[in-house]
Copies of this chain bind each other. A is one copy, B any other.
Amino acid sequence: MQRAAARALRGARTLPVRARSAGTGPPPRGLLYERHGEPPAVVQLKDLEVAELGDSDVHVKMLAAPINPADINMIQGTYATLPPLPAVGGNEGVGEVLEVGRRVTALKPGDRVIPAVNGLGTWRTRGVFPQETLLKVPSDIPVPCAATLSVNPCTAFRMLADFESLAPGDSVIQNAANSGVGQAVIQIAKASGIKTINVVRDRADLPKLVERLMALGADHVVTEEMLRKPEMKDIFKSIPKPRLALNCVGGKSTTEMLRHLQPKGTMVTYGGMAKQPVMVPVSAFIFRDVRLRGFWMSQWRKDHAQGEPRLRRDGMDRDSVTSMMDALFQLIRRGQLSAPACTQVPLQDYKAALENSMKPFTSSKQILLL
C-alpha cells in the first residue's frame, strides 16, 4: 500500500508495461514542494507530468481537497512519514473517476472517490492512482463532506469505537474540540447517545465558538482554565465521569484533562498541538489505573488493508473499512455528521489558504477547489 502511494506520488516516472496516457487535455496542475519548509514559501502551483494509466490504475479529476494540520507538518518535514521529494501536498480530498485501467472492476467513470491511504497528494487537478489507494463514495454525499471524510471523521469514529465499550449515557472528554476530529467526535458521539465534554482554548470569540459546538451536539464546552476549577464538579452532577479522553494537545492541558477521567478509564493521544510531552502523575497510573494509548489513522488503515473484517467481542463487524464507511455515510445522510466549518478557496489562491490554515485559533478549514 505504501509503495502504491509512493508510485502515485511519483506520477509517470515508474511506467507500467501496458500503460496508456491518461487524458489528452491541458496538463494537470498541482501544489508541489521540492524541499521542506514553511508551506507558503516552498509550495508552488505547477504543471505536473502527464501520468500513464496502468491496468490497475484509476484516472481521477479532483474536485476539492482540504488543508489539514498533518499536510502542513508533512511539508515542514516534521511528520512521521514523509513522501520522497518533489511531492504534491494534501492527503484528503474527493474526486471523480475519468477513466479506469483494464483490470479495474470496482470503479467506473463518474464514480466519486476519496483516498484510502495517506500521501496521495490530493492538491492537484487530476491524478492517476492505483485502484487500491481509493475508496468509492456514494454520489449523494456532499462534496465538502466527502473531501473531509477520509482522515478526521474516520479517526473520530475509530477512537470512539476501539478503546472503551461506550454505552448511551456514558461520557467522553476531549481537548482541541474545535478541530476537524473534535467536531466529528461531538457529532458521532451525539448520534450514539454519548455525552461529550469539550475543552477549547480561551479566545476573544469564545461565546460564538461555544454556541457553534453546542449546535453540533456538544453537551459541555469548557476552557483549559476551567478544567482546574471546582465548578467542573457541577458537570458531573448530571453526567458520569468520562471513561474515554481524547488528547490532541499534550503538556499541562492534557494532565488537567486526565484528572477528570474515571478510574480504569483510557486516554487516547492522537495529536500534540502544544508540542509538549504528555505528563502523567505516577499516582494516576498506580491508584487510579488510568490507561494511556495512542491512535494513528494511517496505521489503522495499514493494519486493515487486507479487507479482512475482524469481529469484535459483541459480534459487530465494526472493524472493517467498509462497515466504518457505511456507518459514516448513514450519519451524513441523516444530517448527523456535517463537514467542518470551511472556507472554499480557488486553487490559484493557495498561498492565502495555506497562510490562513496556519493561523492560531482558526475555526474554519480551508478547502481548495480543484
Interface residues of A (CB under 8 A from B): 80, 250, 255, 268-272, 277-296, 299
Q: Give the residues in chain B near A270, CB-CB below 8 Å.
A: 285-286
Shortest Cβ gap from A232 to chain B (Å): 21
Which residue of chain B is the closest to A280 with respect to CB atoms? B278
Given known contacts A278-B279, A278-B280, A282-B277, is B289 in contact with A299 (CB within 8 Å)?
A: yes
Shortest Cβ gap from A118 to chain B (Å): 12
Given known contacts A269-B286, A279-B278, is B295 in contact with A293 (CB within 8 Å)?
A: no
Task: Write 10 A-B pairs (CB below 8 A) sorted by A numbering.
Answer: A270-B286, A271-B286, A272-B282, A272-B283, A277-B281, A285-B294, A289-B296, A290-B294, A291-B293, A292-B292
- Complex CA gap A270/B283 in Å reads 9
- Complex CA gap A288/B294 in Å reads 8
Whether A292 lies near B285 (C-beta < 8 A) is: yes
Shortest Cβ gap from A154 to chain B (Å): 15
Given known contacts A271-B282, A282-B250, A282-B271, is B291 in contact with A277 (CB within 8 Å)?
A: no
- Complex CA gap A289/B272 in Å reads 14
Q: Given contacts A278-B280, A284-B294, A289-B294, could you give 17 more A-B pairs where the C-beta distance is less than 8 Å?
A: A80-B286, A80-B287, A255-B277, A269-B286, A270-B285, A271-B282, A272-B282, A272-B286, A280-B280, A280-B292, A285-B295, A286-B294, A286-B296, A289-B293, A290-B294, A292-B292, A292-B293
Q: Give the residues in chain B near A293, CB-CB below 8 Å.
A: 285, 289, 291-292
Shortest Cβ gap from A155 to chain B (Å): 11
Q: Give the residues in chain B near A272, CB-CB below 8 Å.
A: 281-283, 286
- Complex CA gap A285/B295 in Å reads 7
- Complex CA gap A201/B240 in Å reads 43
- Complex CA gap A269/B296 in Å reads 24
Q: Give the residues in chain B near A80, CB-CB below 8 Å.
A: 283, 286-287
- Complex CA gap A282/B270 in Å reads 8
- Complex CA gap A284/B282 in Å reads 18
Q: Give the residues in chain B near A292, CB-CB below 8 Å.
A: 280, 285, 291-293
Given known contacts A255-B277, A277-B255, is B296 in contact with A287 (CB within 8 Å)?
A: yes
Shortest Cβ gap from A47 to chain B (Å): 34
- Complex CA gap A290/B294 in Å reads 7
- Complex CA gap A315/B107 in Å reads 47
Which residue of chain B is the closest to A277 with respect to CB atoms? B279
Which residue of chain B is the closest to A293 with respect to CB atoms? B291
Q: Give the residues in chain B near A250, CB-CB below 8 Å.
A: 282
Which residue of chain B is the closest to A273 with respect to CB atoms? B282
